[in-house]
Amino acid sequence: MMQKEDCFYLGKIVKKHSFKGEVIIKLDTDEPHLYGKMESVFVDLGNNLVPFFIEKSSLSKGTMLRVKFEDVDTEADAEAILRAGIYLPIDLLPKLTGKQFYYHEVIGFTVIDSAYGAVGTIVNINDTSAQPLFEIDRDGKEIFIPMIDDFIESVNREDKTIEVTTPEGLISLYLEE
């Protein structure tokens, strides 16, 4: 059984396309072309990730992927999976290099500030705000650093560290008693 924590969210089934059970998946990615030729995906049905096999698919209008799943042959079949989330195993993600990273892969990394030194450990990425934030734990204190390209100097996957340069006072702001 595939677990959600071993997967990444790829998108959502947003509408039915034809009376033959085709559906439209809105892909939540900047690079939809990477996902035009998938053989299968996991569909989130009642908190179970169920594998669905793809008979054919085609990208239309940017991030809209038109899909015909095996054994989804009628409008009623399509209706049953409408609005379900679509997931893929994390190991299918294209590997990122340099300063680019996936949110899930940097959890547990240590953040090192060029002026301040070791700040703490990334426990979460908060992406509910306009600007995603590193949520960092420093001996039980929470520090938030905006994930701004200009702040991020380097990502070292071997050492599990991210070097940042933050505006003066940002980190100490969180540590004042």
Q: State yes or no: pLDDT of 124 exceeds 90.
A: yes
Q: What is the mean pLDDT of residues 118-140?
A: 92
CATH of 103-172, one of 2.30.30.240, 3.40.50.980, 3.40.50.2300, 2.40.30.170: 2.30.30.240
- Listing DSSP states for the chain in one string gives ---GGGEEEEEEEEEE-STTS-EEEEE-SS-GGGGTT-SEEEEEETTEEEEEEEEEEEEETTTEEEEEETT--SHHHHHHHTT-EEEEEGGGSPPP-TT---GGGGTTPEEEETTTEEEEEEEEEE-SSSS-EEEEEETTEEEEEE--TTTEEEEETTTTEEEE---TTHHHHHH--
* pLDDT reported for residue 59: 92
Q: State yes or no: pLDDT of 177 exceeds 70.
A: no
* pLDDT reported for residue 82: 96
**pTM of the full predicted structure?**
0.63
Class of domain 4-92 (CATH, top level): mainly beta
Give residue limits of the domains in the chain. Answer: 4-92, 103-172
**Residue 159 · residue 175 · CB < 8 Å:** no
Query: pLDDT class for 103, splitting at 50, 70, 90?
Result: confident
Q: Which residue has the higher pLDDT, 135 or 101?
A: 135
Q: What is the mean pLDDT of residues 8-26?
A: 94
**Residue 148 · residue 138 · CB < 8 Å:** no
Q: What is the mean pLDDT of residues 27-33?
A: 87
Q: Can you name the residues that pair with 69 across neighbouring β-strands?
A: 54
* pLDDT reported for residue 26: 95
Query: pLDDT class for 120, splitting at 50, 70, 90?
Result: very high
Q: What is the mean pLDDT of residues 112-128?
A: 93
